[in-house]
Amino acid sequence: MEKRSLIHKIDFLWRGLDRTLGLIVLALIAISIVTFISATSGTHVKFVDQARNLIISIGLMLIVSRIPPKWLEKSAVWIYTIGIALLLAVAAFGLIRKGARRWVNVGIVIQPSEIMKIAMPMMLAWYFQRREGVLKTWDYGVAALLLILPVALIGRQPDLGTALLVLASGLYVIILAGFPWKYIVPVVGAGTLGILLIIIFGGYICEPEVKWPLLHEYQKNRVCTLLNPSSDPLGKGFHTIQSIIAIGSGGLFGKGWLNGTQAHLEFIPEKHTDFIFAVFAEEFGLLGNIVLMGLFIALIQRGLAISSNAPTLFTRLLGGSVTMIFFTYAFVNMGMVSGLLPVVGVPLPFISYGGTALVTLGIGIGILMSIHRYRRLVQS
């Protein structure tokens, strides 16, 4: 009887949810646990902390999956407004840690910028839902203003990584809402030209006396280190060089679980957080990387499939943006660790150690589950 009761409880939790998406997330969590145990071997970091974070993330996923999308739509403005108010509170009297003002004490210490990763696409999806059928070109300008405000507040903390993620989450909604390609192509072209100019003139613009507008000195150093990590192999380029060595030394099959030399000899910094992909690649090799990337591709494909079949514009835009945020997380983290992108504080979804990031990711999966469940209820 007890066994049957347990089966009924598990069935109740999964009832109405997208099982394909759930199995993909569970597979990523399994990889996270295996890699985390290796990455933290011999360190002060405890597995129980990550287990707690994962349980909280899964719990929030299940809770949010039971919330009707209509409720999410009605709460979008309130969540966005609260997020902006908290960001203003951070700017006024936020807590400073490691030279950055990113936290505020509201009884508990929170990082409001994490809220905006979900609040931003919710707000813009709500706006375009209200303008459905009467959408004008100037509506995209209103959406841009709603997006620029939190991005600017987060960028001045400074927190470039989170600012870029919030910016991406909003841009995905704007593009999916039908922003004309005649405006997108010139922007992409200008961005590509800018990157080429940075590469060509990197030797000059990376000189110490050259100041970059809008960017802090450490942000300039990260870009310059990407262009030439060997210029400071024991300083600014150490992270990138060691992670590239770890990935390359993994070969086709990897060195085996718990046998990674770069990780266990303390050459890889932040090996259980932002650089955990280097630990995984060294121990499981190219084949392991293919499996991991295959899971992320499956996650993105399933998320887009759920979003494309959603019944309302709000759910289609929100689901599409949330799904593409998972892509952005994975792409930026893997690119950063592989030396293809500058080092920024972006974790690998469900793999890296973290608290607030896992909460955000769990809520994101919960939103996709809710959209899928709501569509099934409507059809039935």
How far is it, in rounded angstroms, from Cα 143 to Cα 125? Answer: 10
Residue ranges of the domains in the chain? 20-66+237-380, 79-200
pLDDT tens digits, 130-172: 998 888 889 999 999 999 999 999 988 878 888 889 999 999 9
**Sign of the C-alpha dihedral computed for residues 140, 146, 152 and 154 taken in this order:** negative
Phi, psi angle pair for 95, to nearest 5°: -80, 140
pLDDT tens digits, 255-286: 888 888 777 777 777 787 888 898 999 999 99
pTM for the whole structure: 0.88
Buried residues in 330-351 as b, exposed as e (16+ CB within 10 A): bbbbbbbbbbebbbbbbbbbbb
98: left (phi over 0), alpha (psi -120 to 50) or beta: left
CB-side exposure of 94: number of CA atoms within 13 Å?
Answer: 26
Query: Count of residues for the chain?
Result: 380
Q: Provide the token pair at 111.
A: 């990082």
How far is it, in rounded angstroms, from Cα 379 to Cα 346? Answer: 38
Q: Give SS3 for 120.
A: helix
pLDDT tens digits, 92-129: 887 777 667 777 877 777 788 888 999 999 999 999 99
Pairing label, strands 100-105, 95-97: antiparallel
